[in-house]
Amino acid sequence: MAKKLIVANWKMHFTVGEASLYLHKLQEKVANTRKTTEVVLCPNMLTLQSLSLQVDRRKFRLGAQNCYFQDEGAFTGEVSATMLRSLVDYVIIGHSERRHIFNEDNKLIAQKVQAVVRNGLQPILCVGETRQERADGDTAHVLHDQVTAGLSNITSAEINHVVIAYEPVWAIGTGEFDKADDAVQAIRSIRKNVESMFGKKASQEIRVLYGGSVNGDEAGGYLVAEGVDALLIGGASLKADVFAGIVARTHELESV
Ligand code: PGA
């Protein structure tokens, strides 16, 4: 069985010094769970270089929160997947904050997903409906559009490098989280979309995470939910005790 995957999205938090102190604390609290659980830390771009020298790779992998789709060129302010190659294993693409605050559309996101794979890294493609879309009963359509567009530049030989994160927009950073049963439904429809593009095997093997206001208390519900390969965690990943608790719980559930 595939290992569980816990991804910490630190978003735009921590200076270089603060990130280093926090990683130090995390390394003391998080045990080595390598046998059952892969733990990926996604700090801001500026801190990646220094954390890559400090990180205990027996416990953690690193990921970036974004990248541009061109490998190099006149793209002021951007960082490419090529530049991230020696630093990270994963890159979060199409996070709802990128989609909604920075107006990233499905076409750009598809180009980024492809760039990440082209550079030998693994994209974590984020998809999810807004509150209005959910109220209108459009969740399945929205997920279909985001998944099929996001994966449109990926070949069947590459699909096993992709991770999808289901993050309902209304649940991100709000303290409201999706009921595990509803998340299971949504994730099932994501796998159906993958199946129609890449076949049954790919749809069963692709790792799909849940994200959105996951904290220590209800994380366990998602960890045992059908088809959920674990979690993408924002706010709670900034609290060392809570985050270490979620990693420990995952390891415990997977060890039985
Ligand atoms: P949250 O963020 O856990 O703070 O809701 C999740 C995310 O944005 O990935």
132-175 pLDDT, tens digit per residue, is: 999 999 999 999 999 999 999 999 999 999 999 999 999 999 98
**45-54 and 16-29 are packed helices; what angle lies between their axes, rounded to 10 degrees?**
40
> Which residue of 9, 164, 178 sits with most ligand 1 atoms within 8 Å of its CB, as the best mutation to test the pocket?
9
Distance, CA of 38 to CA of 250 (rounded, Å): 10
Asked whether the beta carbons of 244 and 29 are under 8 A apart, the reply is yes
Residues in contact with ligand 1 by the CB-under-6-Å rule are 9, 167, 172-173, 211-214, 232-236
Ligand 1 pocket, mutate which of 232, 237, 238 (most atoms under 8 A from CB) = 232
- Mean pLDDT of all residues in the chain? 96
Give me the pLDDT at residue 177, please. 77
**150 φ/ψ angles, rounded to the nearest 5 degrees:** -60, -30
**199 alpha carbon – ligand 1 mean position (Å):** 30
Rounded CA gap, 32 and 231, in Å? Answer: 18
- pTM here? 0.97
13 as an active site residue: the answer is no
Active-site residue identified among 38, 104, 129, 167: 167
Among 95, 97, 129, 251, the one annotated catalytic: 95
Q: Please give the Cα distance from 38 to 77 (Å, whole number).
A: 31
Please report the pLDDT score of residue 1 as a whole number.
64
CB-count burial class (<10 Å; 0-12, 13-18, 19+) for 132: exposed
Nearest CA to ligand 1 atom 2: 234
167 is catalytic: yes
pLDDT above 70 coverage of the chain, percent: 100
Q: How deeply is 101 buried, as exposed, middle or buried, from its count of CB atoms within 10 A (0-12, 13-18, 19+)?
A: exposed
Q: Which residues pair with 127 in a beta bridge?
A: 166
Residue 175 zone, left/alpha/beta (φ > 0; ψ -120 to 50; rest): left
At 37-83, the pLDDT tens digits run 999 999 999 999 999 999 999 999 999 999 999 999 999 999 999 99
Per-residue buried b or exposed e for 203-226, using 16+ beta carbons within 10 Å of the residue's own CB: beebbbbbbbbbbbeebebbbebe
Q: Would you state the torsion angle of the CA atoms of residues 242, 176, 113, 195, taken in this order, to the nearest 10 degrees? A: 110
**Closest protein CA for atom 6 of ligand 1:** 234
